[in-house]
A and B are shown apart, each in its own frame.
Chain A
Amino acid sequence: DAGVIQSPRHEVTEMGQEVTLRCKPISGHDYLFWYRQTMMRGLELLIYFNNNVPIDDSGMPEDRFSAKMPNASFSTLKIQPSEPRDSAVYFCASSFRQGGYLAEAFFGQGTRLTVV
């Protein structure tokens, strides 16, 4: 398996523009997570899905952020309009349930977003 695939790897955009980050989870995984990593706040969970349904979006910073999972093999995280403080590395991860536990989360390589 190719692992979790994220695109683009790097994105530089101007403040006010719309940004869309994409993720393809590992086939067969029914959980998908979006994380944001910054020096100040570390790794923060933004939102996660189970069987394509958003379960918890309490980590989404504000209404400018939205995430969708139209099918089991694709998810997007959209920021509209983008602001400089959104600059961070955004990770997508996928996982599956193993007995009574959620198995390890497998991470993609991340998208480094810079908003200027």
Chain B
Amino acid sequence: GQQLNQSPQSMFIQEGEDVSMNCTSSSIFNTWLWYKQDPGEGPVLLIALYKAGELTSNGRLTAQFGITRKDSFLNISASIPSDVGIYFCAGHSNFGNEKLTFGTGTRLTIIP
């Protein structure tokens, strides 16, 4: 089945630093979503991307839908302590496909 390869698996950064993570697929995806999961909670949507090449921002977060439709990245600028958590990319592989495939996650830790 489809797989989403997410990197890096984990990041240790200092508060105030910028963060970048990405997701790649061997097949074409028609939507890309980025979720954040806090401990003991379910994933919460951060950004949704629906068009190839689309660049979308949500506060300090910026995400892009790769032009090849096989990748996406998420950037976080000026990280703060509440950014700690696990970030997942996810996508729908075909137009109208209702199954959402998730990446393996990037665990973000902020060093005080």
Q: Which residues in A have some Cβ–Cβ distance to B below 8 Å?
A: 4, 31, 33, 42-43, 45, 48, 50, 55-56, 91, 93, 100-102, 104-110
CA distance A105 to B43 in the complex (A): 9
Question: Which residue of A is nearest B41, CB measured?
Answer: A109
CA distance A108 to B44 in the complex (A): 9
Check if B42 sits within 8 Å of A55, measured CB to CB: no
Q: Determine which of A91, A102, A108, A109 lies in contact with B92 in the assembled complex, contact meaning CB atoms within 8 Å.
A: A102
B66 proximal to A (CB < 8 A): no
Taking the nearest CB of chain B, how far is it from the CB of A30, in angstroms?
Answer: 11
Q: How large is the interface on B (under 10, 10 to 19, 20 to 34, 35 or more residues)?
A: 20 to 34
Q: Mark B86-99, 1 if CB is under 8 A from A, else 0.
A: 00100010011111
Check if A56 sits within 8 Å of B105, measured CB to CB: no
B-side binding surface: helix, strand, loop or mixed? loop
B100 proximal to A (CB < 8 A): yes
18 interchain pairs (CB within 8 A)? A33-B100, A42-B102, A42-B103, A43-B43, A43-B88, A45-B100, A45-B101, A48-B99, A101-B50, A102-B31, A102-B96, A102-B100, A104-B45, A105-B45, A105-B100, A109-B40, A109-B41, A109-B42
CA distance A91 to B30 in the complex (A): 24
Max count, chain A CB within 10 A of own CB: residue among B33, B41, B42, B45: B42
Q: Determine which of A4, A42, A48, A104 lies in contact with B104 in the assembled complex, contact meaning CB atoms within 8 Å.
A: A42
Q: Which residues of B contact A43 (CB under 8 A)?
A: 43, 88, 102
Check if A56 sits within 8 Å of B33, measured CB to CB: no
Check if B105 sits within 8 Å of A42, measured CB to CB: yes
B23 proximal to A (CB < 8 A): no
CA distance A108 to B42 in the complex (A): 6
Q: Determine which of B99, B103, B104 lies in contact with A56 in the assembled complex, contact meaning CB atoms within 8 Å.
A: B99
Check if B42 sits within 8 Å of A48, measured CB to CB: no
Question: Which residue of A is nearest B100, CB measured?
Answer: A105
Check if B95 sits within 8 Å of A100, measured CB to CB: yes
CA distance A103 to B91 in the complex (A): 11
8 Å CB interface, B13-48 against A: 30-31, 33, 40-45, 48
Q: Which residues of A contact B99 (CB under 8 A)?
A: 45, 48, 56
